[in-house]
Amino acid sequence: MLVGESVITKIKGDNWFGHDYNLNVYRGCSHGCIYCDSRSECYGIKIFDTVMPKDLVLETVKSELQGKKKSGVIGTGAMSDPYNPLERELMLSRGVLELINFYGFGVSIATKSPLITRDLDLLKKIAKHSPVLVKITITTFDDELCKKIEPHVAFSSERFHALKQLSDHGIYCGILLMPVLPFINDTEENVLAIANAAKENGAKFIYPAFGVTMRDRNREYMFHALDQDFKGLKEKYIAAYGNSYECVSPNASALHKKFRPLCNELGILTHMKDIIKDYKLPYQNEQISLF
């Protein structure tokens, strides 16, 4: 059987959320978020706003998992949301989860879509033998502002509800609070409201980034969006950051001083090493017990 291009890559050195492998089922994204770094030229996606499945992706994933000598956690969602609108019909991400379960791997998923709750049955099966981590991106508490900066994504309130469903079924889940856009949603009111709602909906962690990154096509797209819905902010960004890649919120320090103590009080993890340790710990204890 012929398979497509390799879709599972091994991660070397320090890694994001304890991933051992990376996997993207689709190319491109239809969310239309004004800040998306994946639109940048360096990633080589010519038509970014059109979602396309990778060729023979299920056959390729099956072949590659069969050939792995060592299991681990497979991360997906870094470049393209695995639960985009096409997934409702194609069910390729669900097919990948079935293979991940069959071959005994763990999974870490990043998404902005409540569609992930459709696959709770498979996530629960995987969690019986391997780590499962779900990261739902929520950047702003207010649904109206959400629709301006993430125009084709479910409301933030719907994503909080998805977190609640996942948590109620025992899935280890939390929030990617990133990016927090300078001069837009980098307010104490916003980040503290997200922290409180995270607790109410069963999130175990929030991983924040109080700022945004911008380069080439990513910057052009965002500046155009600012001109449409946030008059005068493009000029403010240019004055503050010029052509800088990392655009840290001027409120970052003050936000951390309020945000982290509240999360500590609520029992919500905010540091990468703590999150990795916590979601993998039950499986390490099980291995030690078996040994």
Report the alpha-carbon distance of residue 215 to residue 222 in Å, rounded: 10
Predicted local confidence at residue 197, as pLDDT: 98
Please identify every stretch of the chain with a pLDDT value under 50, giving residue numbers as ranges.
Answer: 1-2, 288-291
Residue 81's φ and ψ, nearest 5 degrees, are: -65, 120
The tokens for 63 are: 């072949």
Q: What pLDDT score was predicted for residue 289?
A: 44
Q: Which residues pair with residue 76 across a beta bridge?
A: 23, 109
Q: Supply the Cα-derived Rg of the chain in whole angstroms.
A: 19
Q: How much is the pLDDT for 46?
A: 79
Give pLDDT, residue 291.
38
Rounded Cα distance between 194 and 142, Å, is 9
| Long-range Cβ contact pairs of 94-100 (< 8 A, separation 24 or more) | 94/118, 94/119, 94/122, 95/58, 95/61, 96/23, 96/25, 96/57, 96/58, 96/61, 97/122, 97/123, 97/126, 98/122, 99/58, 99/61, 99/62, 99/65, 100/65, 100/74, 100/126
